[in-house]
Structure 1
Amino acid sequence: MGHHTQYIHPDLKLSRFDDKFYKADVLFEQHLLVWIISGETKIVQGDQTHWFGAGDTLLFPRNQLVTVINYPKDGLPHQSAVMHLTPQRLTDFYAKNRVDIQPDPAPVFRTFGRHPLLKSCLASLIPYFELKEALSEGIVSLKIEEAITILRSIDASIDPVLANFNEPGKINLADFMEQHYQFNMPMDKFGYLTGRSLTTFKRDFKKTFQTTPQKWLTNKRLELAHYQIKEKKRRPSDVYLEVGFENLSHFGHAFKKRFGYAPGSASQQEP
């Protein structure tokens, strides 16, 4: 049971989830190329929800927030092959290939469906996980360069995404928080993504919202959950993870304290 990760190299791993679901608000420091072997993945970004299944390939750009929920399916665990596209490897690749590009300042996650070239590239990694020894650097470099070359051949707009090595700069705090409050992560990460130290983030937050980050986040998440349950007629068990809560019991307690009734009763309340 639980989560198992097998590395054959720091940049190549096989990830497996055996539980009924696994949810994480992710912020990767490197680009990740993920091929789903079995199970299902739900991705929530803002007000958009996307579902992916076995055979799909996804690219998660670095420093971009996204909620990922992995589910087993058809009696099989959720399993995926993951390739890290590190800034150093990408810098070397673009320098070697003499490509001059302008980085994309706001990349978003991408899906390539069940593209046969990406499937062939990532599926060819699976036998290496059966080896007892670590994979040689030479083979790893070849496989990662193959993946980058395929991405560039099937998506003409991918270069500005892969070549984005910039760190987040200072941005409008209110706009960012209004768009990303459902993500559950440490305050220093919110600060990092808005171009601030933790101390500066808390100070600017208090000045902007006249309250603490945690109180504001809890209230915003409860308001979104109330809307989803009451207006969209969704079940509390389908909502609490998406809005930023980690525990259904804690969500129910906080919801009742805020609105005066349990989440399951929200849809029956008068306007």
Structure 2
Amino acid sequence: MPESINYINYSCYFTTFREGEQFASYNSLSMVISGEMELNDGVHRSVFRSGDVYLVRKNQLLKFLKKPGEEAEFKSLSIRFDDEMLKQMSTEENFVLQERVKTPAYIELSDVPHLKYFMESLLQYQDLLENKSPELALLKQKEALILLFGYDPLLKNILYDISDPYKIDLEGFMLRNYHFNVKLDRFAYLTGRSLATFKRDFDKIFKTAPGKWLLEKRLQEARYLLEKGRKASDIYLDLGFEDLSHFSFAFKKQYGLPPSKLSL
């Protein structure tokens, strides 16, 4: 199981594991030690294996799937960059954000040798970090940022942007992201609204409550996929359902028959 040590996290899973909420709430730099990590932001899907390094952006919808290898469990190492430290560093540098950068929810950095060497070196400090050495953790966080900015100074426009999301087109956002398993307050936050405003705007656009719309939209997509020959066990997680029994119950209630009747 993962052990959170300040802002440096070593993870270990012996079976395939999906993150519960599909939302990245902080910036982080990660390396897969063994096994596979699959990331999917709804547009891009990538599989990272032993030695691969990637950066995950804050405030992004993202599906995580951790898979053990044939001969080894899944292991990874991650550094979380908290907002307070990023704000302090950007202030010290007199950094001014010119514009918000639009990139995928994650950035592959496996071809940057010095970042890989740095992440590998952290394995040598695991015992010390697990004993909660905040001074060392902070030092390694800053070192990681210096290496990232040395590779690409434009990454400052991503990592130093700690402001809240601004108000965006709600209809387009929901039609693109309804299959992510996150709570309504997350959807509201990502569209730049309070929960009350989100619900009010949602009702104006879709003429129904967001919870009801999400369920019906996911079930419509499920029916389409089942009629194409997909199995319920293969699609329910990708459509935002937490477990197979809940999906089967909701599907039967909506369409009057269990999913298995359509996937034959």
What's the TM-score bracket when you normalise by the shorter of the two chains? 0.7 to 0.9
Mapped pair 1:144 → 2:141: yes
Distance 1:235 1:116, change over 3 A: farther
Q: How many residues end up aligned between the 2 structures?
A: 262
What are the equivalent positions in structure 2 for 1:237-256 lying under 5 Å apart? 237-256=233-252
Name which of 220, 228, 231 aligns with 1:235: 231
Determine the C-alpha separation between the residues in 2 that align with 1:228 and 1:50: 22
Distance 1:216 1:37, change over 3 A: same
Distance 1:23 1:208, change over 3 A: same
Q: Which residue matches 2:133? A: 135
Name which of 128, 150, 154 aligns with 2:151: 154
Q: Which residue matches 1:17? A: 13
Name which of 52, 55, 58 aligns with 2:51: 55
Name which of 80, 83, 89 aligns with 1:84: 80
Q: Which residue matches 1:221? A: 218
Determine the C-alpha separation between the residues in 2 that align with 1:80 and 1:201: 36
Query: Mind listing any 5+ residue stretches in structure 2 that lack a counterpart?
Result: none
Q: Which residue matches 2:177? A: 180
Determine the C-alpha separation between the residues in 2 that align with 1:49 and 1:224: 19
Q: Which residue matches 1:205? A: 202
Mapped pair 1:45 → 2:20: no
Mapped pair 1:194 → 2:191: yes
After superposition, the C-alpha distances for 1:108-149 in whole angstroms (9 at most, x for unaligned) are: 311112543222111211232223632241x33332222222
Residue identity in the other structure for 2:132? A
Q: Secondary structure at the match of 1:125?
A: helix
Q: Secondary structure at the match of 1:158?
A: helix
Determine the C-alpha separation between the residues in 1 that align with 2:44 and 2:263: 22
Query: Mind listing any 5+ residue stretches in structure 1 that lack a counterpart?
Result: none
Distance 1:264 1:55, change over 3 A: farther
Instruction: Compare 52-61 and 257-266 and name the one that shifted more.
Output: 257-266
Determine the C-alpha separation between the residues in 1 that align with 2:97 and 2:209: 41
Q: Secondary structure at the match of 1:36?
A: strand
Distance 1:103 1:55, change over 3 A: farther
Determine the C-alpha separation between the residues in 2 that align with 1:240 and 1:145: 40
**Deviation of 1:43 (Å):** 1.6
Residue identity in the other structure for 2:98? Q
Q: Which residue matches 1:34? A: 30
Distance 1:189 1:262, change over 3 A: same
CA contact (8 A) 2:232 2:263 kept: no
CA contact (8 A) 2:23 2:59 kept: yes
Determine the C-alpha separation between the residues in 2 that align with 1:49 and 1:25: 17
Identity %: 34
Distance 1:51 1:262, change over 3 A: farther
RMSD value over aligned CA atoms? 2.3
Determine the C-alpha separation between the residues in 2 that align with 1:246 and 1:260: 21
Q: TM-score, normalised by structure 1?
A: 0.86
What are the equivalent positions in structure 2 for 1:83-102 lying under 5 Å apart? 83-97=79-93, 99-102=95-98
CA contact (8 A) 1:25 1:65 kept: no
After superposition, the C-alpha distances for 1:80-122 in whole angstroms (9 at most, x for unaligned) are: 1110112232333344445544242534311112543222111
